[in-house]
Structure 1
Amino acid sequence: MHFPTIKQLRYFNALVEHNHFGKAAESCFVSQSAFSVAIKELENSLGGQLVDRTNKNVTVSNLGREIYQQSQVVMSEMKKLVDMAHGNLSPLSGQLSVGMIPTIGPFVMPELLPYLNTHYPQLDLEIHEGKSSDIYDQLMRGQLDVILLALPYEMRSVETLTLFKDKFRLISSVGNQWLKGRTFNIEDVGDGSVLLLDDGHCLRDHAISACHIKNVDKVSHFTASSLLTLVEMVKQDLGVSFIPEMALKLPLFSNDEIQVDALEFDAYREIGLAWRKGSMRSKEFAMLGDCLMASISDKIKLY
């Protein structure tokens, strides 16, 4: 009897999740031909067809869906086995896969990486960037060990550690048409005056909640795919927006085209870590949080 390999199961999981051979192969960093061979070998090992290849998109067979569900259990148990082995190693050594959202990662990595290299040189850190929903899914599939994200964010079967508060600041173009020299008040600004990121970015949801935007008419129908795009839209006076304080490190906020103001009310998001509940590396993840705090304490205001 030939048992499936972990690699084959990982490839098959990616195929089900992406529903496309090319995209799944790309996510696993292998060629499509090598990926297809691995899926075929998995089917031969199991003695059944897992996917229908006659359509443009992949159609998973009934057997394939059963295999997919069981493979999630196998991968989770395999991750526990690896965590158990890591428990016998020195803290923050060996491989550690960390997921981060793009509105946090670029602002903490320049300080965190040198700090870890100095204090924990045996740590092999892998960084993966993605939206909160994506890195949470990867965490629960065992592809990531721990994730760094903005809270609150709805998650199940995880433990979280809040690190610090990241306050929101108001950004506008100098001499903008929206505020006319007034202090920002969501009730006073006109409809369509508030620029936000696209749906799916947790920063959009946090800004709406923290800045008390209850009237959707105040939100512009123009959206941005990134913080850089958002700032450029503000520079063109398409509206005003809210920026996390940690992002003020960007050089673009030092020019005289963008005005940054404190808000009259307390608006913030919480930055924290999350990992699978019951992980044997939970103490190690808390140490990682301490390292992050120590590395950025001189660069970012912590509340």
Structure 2
Amino acid sequence: MALETPTIKQLEYFVRLAESSTFRGAAEQLKISQPTLTAQIYNLEKTLNLTLVERSRSGATLTPAGRDLLTNARQVLEEMNGLLDQAAMMNHGPGGTFRMGVSPTIGPYLLPHILPGLHQTYASLKLFVRENTPKALELDLLEGRLDLVLISQPFGTPRLTTEVLFEEPLKLITPEDHPLAKLERVETHHLRGQNILTLEEQYSSYHQMELLCSELGATIARDYEGSSLDALRQMVIMGMGLTFVPSTYIYSEIHQPQGLSVRDVENLNLHRTLVLAWRQNSPNRGFYRQLAELIRSLVKTNLSDAKLSF
């Protein structure tokens, strides 16, 4: 067992080096000199009596021991940050800076309705918001680059905790001159043989649409997968197919659906479930549950016309 204890700063330098893969890049991010970083990593290795980093001209690569200890180092830093955040909350109420990830199919259509209310309730709270794909957000959350994530299910591993915020229906949109747009009622059998546009496979809705098409005899337009909800909308207007989009998107973006028809499909319970997620052992998990409850309350008030379920 090591006779000395690594410092928090040494662990921070080690984690940043692991993420950067080069001493120069990590030193620039940490705003310290490269010799200082090198010395601190050496001292950490000496304290632990382990070689953590393989040095080469091409960069820095973690040894097996370094990879094994990286998760523990991140957890120690998270606990320390959580201690400081908790102390700040005790002194001044909830506040500080938290890094929140959001899916691009959620953030632009939900955040404008909740961020003002969050700021009003927690004046000293700052949210650094980052958009990314679901898989990237999950990895960033697990590895500590994000504190919490706003995303749709299915999502998560045993190391993550999720708090359900609400469910929202997915509505069918068609070109305004499409035969389905002229029907008084659209039923599931009307979708047989239709071309369904969907987001790329990295989004959970892709698999949802894949299953739906299989059940109803529709076809996924695999050559025209959209990179965003706006892209799907434009492809529908151009007559390339039909698609399903969440009601928060419709509420936010389709006030006057020029070129489009927005329809419900009879007896089709198609929806997505939005959750707030964080690491199971996060020291701020109590506050995150409060945050989830406040978000639910704000959504109920500010998005009452979007027909969401709680």
- Correspondence for 1:9 among 8, 11, 14: 14
Q: Distance in 2 between matches of 1:70 and 1:214?
A: 47
> Match for 1:220: what amino acid?
A
- Which of 235, 239, 244 does residue 237 from structure 1 map onto? 239
Counterpart residue number, 2:75: 76
Q: State the 1:248 CA deviation.
A: 0.7
Q: CA deviation at 1:268?
A: 0.7
Paired AA for residue 77 in structure 2: M
CA distance 1:51–1:227, change in 2 (3 Å) = farther
Change (3 A) 1:240 1:42: farther
Deviation at 1:174, TM superposition (A): 1.2
- TM-score w.r.t. length of structure 1: 0.80
Aligned with residue 224 of structure 1, among 226, 243, 246 = 226
- Return the alpha-carbon distance in structure 1 between the equivalents of residues 27 and 261 of structure 2: 42
* Deviation (angstroms), 1:38: 7.9
**SS class of match (2:241):** coil
Q: Deviations over 1:17-57 (max 9, x none)?
A: xxxx6xx95xx896799898787566655486525445xxx
In 2, Cα distance between equivalents of 1:139 and 1:83: 15
Q: How does 1:86-97 map to 2 (within 5 A)?
A: 86-88=85-87, 89-90=89-90, 92-97=94-99
Q: For structure 1, which runs of at least 5 residues remain unmatched after alignment?
A: none
**Counterpart secondary structure, 2:225:** strand
**In structure 1, C-alpha distance between the alignment counterparts of 2:108 and 2:39, rounded to whole Å:** 40
CA RMSD of aligned residues (A): 3.5
Distance 1:176 1:118 in 2: 45
Q: 1:232 to 1:184 in 2, by over 3 A?
A: farther
Answer yes or no: is the 8 Å Cα contact 2:12–2:77 preserved in 1.
no
118-127 or 85-94: bigger deviation? 85-94
Query: Counterpart amino acid of 1:273?
Result: L
1:100-249 aligned within 5 A: 100-176=102-178, 181=183, 183=186, 185=188, 188-190=191-193, 193-209=195-211, 211=212, 213-214=214-215, 218-221=219-222, 222-249=224-251
Which residue of 284, 287, 295 maps to 2:287?
A: 284
Which stretch of the first structure deviates more once superposed, 72-81 or 212-221? 212-221
- Give 1:219 deviation, angstroms: 0.6
Identity %: 18
Structure 1: distance between partners of 2:208 and 2:104: 14
Q: Secondary structure at the match of 2:239?
A: coil
The 1:149–1:130 alpha-carbon spacing in structure 2 relative to 1, beyond 3 Å, is: same
User: In structure 2, do the counterparts of structure 1 residues 186 and 148 end up closer, same or farther at CA, with 3 Å as the change threshold?
Assistant: farther
**Deviation (angstroms), 1:217:** 7.2
**Cα distance in 2 between the residues matched to 1:39 and 1:229:** 45
The one-letter amino acid paired with 2:127 is L
Q: Which moved more, 1:94-103 or 1:7-16?
A: 7-16
Does the Cα contact within 8 Å between 1:178 and 1:240 map onto a contact in 2?
no
Change in 2 beyond 3 A, CA 1:293/1:7: same
Question: C-alpha displacement at 1:169, in angstroms?
Answer: 0.4
**Structure 2 gap segments, 5+ residues each:** none
> How far did 1:162 drift?
0.8
Pair 1:301-2:307 in alignment:
yes
Equivalent residue number for residue 275 of structure 1: 278
Preserved contact between residue 188 and residue 265 of structure 2 (Cα < 8 Å):
no
TM-superposed deviation, 1:100: 1.2
TM-score by length of 2: 0.79
CA gap of 1:60–1:119, structure 2 versus 1, over 3 A, is: same
Q: How far apart, CA to CA, are the structure 1 residues paired with 2:179 and 2:38?
A: 61
Q: CA deviation at 1:139?
A: 1.4
Code of the aligned partner of 1:9? F
Q: CA deviation at 1:244?
A: 0.7
- Which has the higher Rg, Structure 1 or Structure 2? 2
Moved more, 95-104 or 230-239: 95-104
CA separation of 1:187 and 1:275: change in aligned 2, threshold 3 A: same
Alpha-carbon contact 1:107-1:247 (below 8 Å) kept? yes
